[in-house]
Amino acid sequence: MNKEHKMNKEEILKANADKRTKCVVYTRVMGYHRPVESFNLGKKGEHKERVAFCEGSAKIKIA
């Protein structure tokens, strides 16, 4: 491949397909950790809409 040629996203993924592994995302549901891929369609939608909690921005500022 030419050094000047920049690979796009699809080319990079295709070239490295044999090196990639599946990433399983887990989330906590009712005290248990479960893989997101096992969720039904509605639960997957709820998971996408979740907002991550940031402790730093939630601190109360005392004057």
What is the count of structural domains for the chain? 1
Instruction: Tell me what pLDDT residue 5 has.
Output: 74
Residue predicted with more confidence, 31 or 2 = 31
pLDDT digits (tens, 9 = 90+) for 4-59: 678 899 999 899 989 988 899 998 878 899 999 999 999 999 989 988 877 777 67
pLDDT at res. 40:
92
pTM score, whole prediction:
0.48
Question: Is pLDDT at 1 greater than 60 in this prediction?
Answer: no
Q: How far is CA 63 from CA 1, 55, 56, 58, 60, in A?
A: 61, 19, 17, 16, 10
26, 36 contact by CB (below 8 A): yes
Establish if 13 belongs to a structural domain: no
- For 31, the domain range is 20-50
